[in-house]
Amino acid sequence: MVSPEVSVVIATRDRPQLMRRAVRSVLAQEGIKSIEVLLIFDGVRPNEKLDAPTDIDPGPHAVRTLRNKRTPGLAGARNTGIEAATAPLIAFCDDDDEWKPQKLITQLKLMADPEVLLAATGIEIHSTGGVHQRLAPPTVNLEDLLRSRITELHPSSFLLRADALREVGMIDEELPASYGEDYDLLLRIVKRGRIVAERSCLTIIHWDRASFFTEKWQGIVDGLGYLLEKHPEFERTRSGRARIEGQIAFAHAAKGDLRDARRWARKSLGNDFLQSRAYLAMIVGTRAISGERVVSTLNRRGRGM
């Protein structure tokens, strides 16, 4: 095998059929001579044997399997893959997502600009409510990301320079529950270089199954609070801070902590009186509807909280 052009990190846990679909979509990339797929198994027993899927022919590419040797969870698993990667470019793909065949070759053209540190693509969300296309913005800056998470920039679409990851630091394993680890990475990357995207939807995101984050409300509270403290730039963007405060309020309300939910909702509305997440938090706090029901309804429409 020739030296890989791209190392693709797929962190996986207890979803073998979905993982195989993700791997097949990566190996089916058009116009790429050599891809290194790194399957990182998280949460396996120490004596459990790790095998690449024997029913998948890698062709000119390579599939390597490793056990997460770092912090248990998504952040540690991705960092295990990053450390093992040998290509100059590193991509992520969640084990329940997949790529369209032109995804990587299209992004490689964007990476021809040496100032570009990360290239993404638009996403096609498959939910129980149908297929929803979310076109990615062609470029974003720090102010854009402080105002909005820009969910069109999904980690399953990320293609990054390996040297840039070494410069800004890998995935933050201190982040509670690994929640928002992709957002944290975007904020750190954009402070050092350019983030661009192919607008068209070349990455398929599956929201037609339960997420590992479903109902893990305390992890969301802790993760978002951590991000606010880690990135002091939020202090200068009231609408961006209100958005995260509204999400924290919603998570508190969903897990039944009504006092904290009201406190964070007041903070959010103090920064942005039109912040819808704060109002949703107050509605959930009345127990008229559950947080799970709200998130499920949004997901069916291809939206997130």
Is the model's pLDDT at 190 over the cut of 50? yes
- What pLDDT score does 46 carry? 57
DSSP assignment letter at 209: S
* Burial (CB count within 10 angstroms: exposed 0-12, middle 13-18, buried 19+), residue 288: exposed
The tens digit of pLDDT for each residue in 24-56 reads 999 999 999 999 999 999 987 655 667 667 778
- Name the domain count of the chain: 2
Kindly provide the b/e burial profile for residues 146-159, where b requires at least 16 CB atoms within 10 angstroms of the residue's own CB: bbbbbebbbbbbbb
Contact 63, 52 (CB under 8 A): yes
Same domain, yes or no, for 88 and 186? yes
Helix axes of 238-254 and 291-300: crossing angle, nearest 10 degrees: 120
The structure's pTM equals 0.92
Q: Are residues 165 and 246 both part of a single domain?
A: no
Task: Take residue 270 and report the two structure tokens written for it.
Answer: 């103090």
The pLDDT-based confidence of 213 (bands split at 50, 70, 90) is very low
- Is 163 in the same domain as 281? no
Task: For residues 127 and 34, state if they share a domain.
Answer: yes
Contact status, residue 204 vs residue 102, Cβ threshold 8 Å: no
- Nearest Cα residue to 285 out of 254, 264, 263: 254
Does residue 227 share a domain with residue 82?
no
Domain, as residue range, for 10: 6-207
125 with 260, same domain: the answer is no
Lowest-confidence pick of 45-49, 200-204, 240-244: 45-49
The residues with which 203 forms a beta bridge, in sequence order, are 99, 123
